[in-house]
Amino acid sequence: MERRIALYGGSFNPPGIHHELIVKLLLEIFYEVIVIPRGAQGDKPSTFLVDNMHRMNMANLAFGKISRVKLVLDDLKDNLFTPAYTLDQKYNKNGSLWHVGGYDLFRDGQLGESEIQTSWIRGSEIWEKFNFAIIPRGEFDIADFPPHNQFLNFSINGQSSTIIRSLIKKQDLQFKDFVNPKIAECITQNNLYGWKGE
Structural domain for 134, as ranges: 5-158
E strand or H helix that includes residue 53 = helix 52-63
Residue 76 lies in a domain: yes
Residue 171 lies in a domain: no
pTM: 0.93
Residue 110 lies in a domain: yes
Residue 168 lies in a domain: no
The answer to whether 58 and 190 have CB atoms below 8 angstroms apart is no
Residue 94 lies in a domain: yes
Is 17 exposed, middle or buried (CB count within 10 Å of its CB: 0-12, 13-18, 19+)?
middle
- Digit-by-digit pLDDT tens for the chain (198 residues) are 578 999 999 999 999 999 999 999 999 999 999 999 998 776 777 878 899 999 999 999 999 999 999 999 999 999 888 999 999 999 998 779 999 999 999 999 999 999 999 999 999 999 999 999 999 877 889 999 999 999 998 777 778 899 999 999 999 999 999 999 999 999 999 999 999 976
CATH of the domain at 27: 3.40.50.620
Residue 173 lies in a domain: no
Q: Tell me the C-alpha distance between 19 and 33, whole Å.
A: 12
Q: How many domains does the chain have?
A: 1
Residue 170 lies in a domain: no
Residue 188 lies in a domain: no
Q: Tell me the C-alpha distance between 182 and 176, whole Å.
A: 10
Q: Tell me the C-alpha distance between 5 and 32, whole Å.
A: 5
